[in-house]
Amino acid sequence: MKLNILPPRQGVVWVKLGVKTFFSQPLALSGLFFVFMALMSILSVVPVLGSALALALLPGVTLGLMAATQEATKGKFPMPTVLLSGFRAGRQELQSMLVLGALYAAGFLLVLACSALVDGGTFAKLYLLGGGVGEEVLKDSSFEGAALLALLLYLPLSLLFWHAPALVHWHGMSPLKSLFFSLVACGRNFGAFLIYGVVWMGFFIVVGTVIALIASFSGSEEVVAAALFPCALVMASMFFTSIYFTFVDSFDATTDVLA
């Protein structure tokens, strides 16, 4: 397997492919993303333990969304069982996915622990225990600092795991090896990923602005609520659909350089 070095403009291509593929199977892909979010939300209802379990399952279930995208590119209708692709491909892969999940959960919890050094754990408790946050807390500089630190620390964690589940599933890599090559691939193609992220961010901002304008003209909170959820679901579904293309373009399976 060979690592491909891609031009920055490839980031735009990934976004286009994600949107195009989503609209080839919009009901299936948005439905699967809704199931994915519902599963994570249900698990997170249980304080601390549920959130940790949701984090541990995230790499494997994200792989399921990538497998669904692969099905859609072949003109097939991805069924709900595709979300379990990473957990039912054999004992060896199941163990690898569980190891990845445990490492991801540990890494994310470490990020939250570091954020607690800034605000005494308010941000971390909000994530792990849920509940509401008062306006005074949101405006508190230490809370803002903790949230910013968590975001900055999460970025390298995200790059470590970006390709890892797919490398385990489609190329049979060990968990640690998949993390290494995921980070290398993201780093070597930083320009493409930067453009990819900027384009998606711009897309989200534009859609959010349109919804805000609709809200201001209608003067109805019900209209905003009715439009916000489906728009957010579709946008997030398209984003997760595009992740598959960042993987298939980054690695060439016809050679065995990385093995």
Percent over 70 (pLDDT), the chain: 90
Let me know if residue 259 belongs to a domain. Answer: no
Token pair recorded at residue 93: 């892969």
Let me know if residue 154 belongs to a domain. Answer: yes
Let me know if residue 67 belongs to a domain. Answer: yes
Token pair recorded at residue 160: 């470590």
Q: Transcribe 38-61 into DSSP letters.
A: HHHHHHHTSTTHHHHHHHHHHHHH
pLDDT-derived band at 175, boundaries 50, 70, 90: very high
CA distance 192 to 153: 21
Let me know if residue 130 belongs to a domain. Answer: yes
Report pLDDT for 122.
Answer: 85
Report pLDDT for 256.
Answer: 45
Q: Does the pLDDT of residue 257 top 60, yes or no?
A: no
| Residue that wins the pLDDT comparison between 184 and 122 | 184
Average pLDDT of the residues in 166-171: 94
Please write the tens of the pLDDT for every residue from 227-240: 677 888 899 999 99
Average pLDDT of the residues in 17-25: 96
Please write the tens of the pLDDT for every residue from 29-39: 999 999 999 98
- Burial per residue of 161-176, b for 16 or more beta-carbon CB atoms within 10 angstroms, e otherwise: bbbbbbbbbbbbbebe
Let me know if residue 163 belongs to a domain. Answer: yes
Instruction: Match 């490839």 to its residue by tokens.
Output: 10
Let me know if residue 258 belongs to a domain. Answer: no
Q: What is the pTM of this model?
A: 0.88
Percent over 90 (pLDDT), the chain: 64
CA-closest candidate to residue 246, choices 40, 102, 62:
62
Under a CB-based contact definition with an 8 Å cutoff, are residues 159 and 186 in contact? Answer: yes
Let me know if residue 164 belongs to a domain. Answer: yes
Please write the tens of the pLDDT for every residue from 183-230: 999 999 999 999 999 999 999 999 888 877 776 776 666 666 666 778
Let me know if residue 257 belongs to a domain. Answer: no
Q: Which domain holds residue 209?
A: 2-252
Spacing of C-alpha 23 from chain mean position: 19
Provide the domain count of the chain.
Answer: 1
Under a CB-based contact definition with an 8 Å cutoff, are residues 160 and 100 in contact? Answer: no
Sequence-distant (≥ 6) Cβ neighbours of residue 161 within 8 angstroms: 59, 100, 104, 179, 182
